[in-house]
Amino acid sequence: MRDRTYGMLLAVPASATLLAIVVFPMLYSLHLSVVPLDLLHPGTPRHFAGLSVYAAVIADPRFISSLLHTLLFVVLTMSAELVLGLGVALLLNQSSLAGRGLFRTLLILPLMVAPVVSGLQWRWIFSDQYGVLNYLLSLLHVPAPLWLGSPASAMAAIIVANLWVATPFVLLVLLAGLQGMPDEPIEAARIDGAGWWQRLRLVVLPLLRPAIRVVLLIRLADAIRIFDIVYVLTGGGPGDATQVFSTYIFQTSYGSLDLSKGAAGSFIMVFITALISLFLARRFRAG
Amino acid sequence: MHTSVRNGLSYALLVVVVLLVLAPLAWLYLSSVKNDIEMYSVPPTLVPHDPSLRNYGQLLVDVSFKSGFLNSVLVALGSTAAALLLCVPAAYAFSRYLWRGLSLVLFLVLVTRMFPPVIFSLPFFIVLQKVHLINTRLGLGLVYLSFQMPLAIWLLESFFREVPKEIEEAARVDGLSRTQILLRIVIPLSLPGLAVAAIFAFLLSWNEFLYALILTRTNVAQTIPVVVSGWISIFQILWGKMTAAAGLYVLPALVFVSLVQKGMLKGLMQGGVKQ
């Protein structure tokens, strides 16, 4: 048997499985979004509807508000992740510090924690009456807000819960980027009299572009589809104030049983993700 | 600034950050050993006066938690085993014979990352219903393969590529067949990589929430995150039971992350693991 044929034989089971559970569902969803399925009236004949379902999604004010909440969340959380991750990575990257390994291990501990747990744990911390956060604030004589009861602070709570699980990844990638960086340019800048801030802005950050690009692209796709934390922390509330893309599609599909609208909404979401990814990938091209 | 002063400042900052990161987890575990009265005392006690494992004991007799735990373990182990069984030969084939096809795998990795799980959940929901696999561990495990496999192939391929070709050529000269080379040489040499891929696949399944929420309905198949999130009601949340369950559920992730750090980065970069 030729090598190529042998290789294909090895790859057949996995490829067939992927075709069935990744490619087929994608096409099925696409079909669902243009040939609507009415689960509430079974037996209704199905017709090609063009983009009418997509139009219905875009005309839905709840979709638009979930879109705005998602974008707000994505911008705020990703900026905070980058700033915090970079700050801690710079701290950890000082070779004169002993015990850096231990600090790193402790700092990335939440790396693989289930988002559901983060949501639950922060819900307990943010609790109005029994919450430890409001108790600590009261010690400082700061008025304690009803964290999950008002739109702005509920969004803040979601961002905090997300930062806790997401930042370790950013830290890890940026730290790897810093450690793989050549010393010479930074040393040369130091000799030329560049201060700490100048070295960071003019030498370190440009060299770190590839790592930042990876972080942005991976985190963007994750942040846009946030679901678990919102579901257990606020349930989209108060009212619809923290409803995001995924919770909107979840409710439309399984609450109102409008699967076609859910599918169309999902594809709009993919389209927006792709657009932003493309923009970021170009903006942060290496060199 | 003098080096020792700068080091002192850096240490102080790092300690503050570590405390901030660990505080929520510490609070979770501290709360889980409080009794019901102390749990809801105002103001809260930072260190429990009368620590006990009562909440954990309650979980042992809680039918939904026990079945949830069993379901989570079985689905994660089963889907991970299936993913490795399918992906090891495929990844090896991609690394040696079909490297041109690798871009297709990369495409699938991107697709499963860019497309929200909610989009795949619709066809899974409809098809599993038709073939009577809705609300079964088998059905859920099959669905989990959809995100475990692209990541596993991608990871394994990069580990297999690191096995020096010379060793394989020598084995070929010694008369080993291609299959024997894979089983007796490449796999044993890539065991650390296999372990990383297995841990990732396991944790992806272990942490998954959205599909489980949609595709399971009863104790027969519901996994821990679905069971535990079901304890949230408008009227009350039993925080004793909740914190103990969350504390147990999160343990494998904490253990794996503190033990395996080297291969972690590779996996995270290539698959982008977070849900």
Of B207, B193, B221, B161, nearest to B84 by C-alpha is B193
Asked if the model's pLDDT at residue B272 lies above 70, the reply is: no
Handedness of CA B156, B269, A105, B53 (dihedral sign): negative
Averaged pLDDT score across all residues of chain B:
89
Q: Measured between CB atoms, does A120 come within 8 Å of chain B? A: yes
Q: Do B28 and A124 touch (CB under 8 A)?
A: yes
| Cα–Cα distance measured from residue B207 to residue A118, given in angstroms and rounded to the nearest whole number | 11
Domain segments of chain B as ranges: 3-39, 62-271
Torsion of CA B50, B51, B54, B56, to 10 degrees: 160
Minimal CA separation from B121 to chain A, in Å: 8
Q: Do B153 and A172 touch (CB under 8 A)?
A: no
Burial B152-170 (b: 16+ CB within 10 A, else e): bbbbbbbbbbebeeeebee
Mutation target for A interface from B28, B149, B274: give the one with most A CBs within 10 A. Answer: B274
- Tens digits of residue pLDDT in B9-52: 999 999 999 999 999 999 999 999 998 888 888 888 888 888 99
Determine how many CB atoms are found less than 10 A away from the CB of residue B107.
11
Cβ atoms of B111 and A270 closer than 8 Å: no
- State which residue of chain B sits closest to A265, comparing Cα positions: B119
Minimal CA separation from B226 to chain A, in Å: 9
In the chain, the amino acid numbered A198 is Q
Asked if the model's pLDDT at residue A119 lies above 90, the reply is: yes
Chain B residues whose beta carbon lies within 8 Å of the beta carbon of residue A248: none
Q: Measured between CB atoms, does A130 come within 8 Å of chain B? A: yes
| Cα–Cα distance measured from residue B150 to residue B111, given in angstroms and rounded to the nearest whole number | 10
In the chain, the amino acid numbered B88 is V
For A106, the closest of B18, B115, B246 (CB atoms) is B18
- Tens digits of residue pLDDT in B87-118: 999 999 999 888 777 777 777 777 777 788 88
The predicted complex's ipTM stands at 0.90
Domain segments of chain A as ranges: 56-283
pLDDT of residue B109: 76
- Tens digits of residue pLDDT in A56-86: 999 999 999 999 999 999 999 999 999 999 9
As a whole number of Å, the CA-based R_g of chain A is 24
- State which residue of chain B sits closest to A96, comparing Cα positions: B7
Q: Measured between CB atoms, does A83 come within 8 Å of chain B? A: no
Q: Which CATH class is domain A56-283?
A: mainly alpha
- State which residue of chain A sits closest to B255, comparing Cα positions: A109
- State which residue of chain A sits closest to B31, comparing Cα positions: A124
Chain A residues whose beta carbon lies within 8 Å of the beta carbon of residue B117: 225, 227
| Cα–Cα distance measured from residue A135 to residue A146, given in angstroms and rounded to the nearest whole number | 12
Cβ atoms of A86 and A174 closer than 8 Å: yes
Torsion of CA A247, A78, A127, B206, to 10 degrees: 60
Q: Which CATH class is domain B62-271?
A: mainly alpha
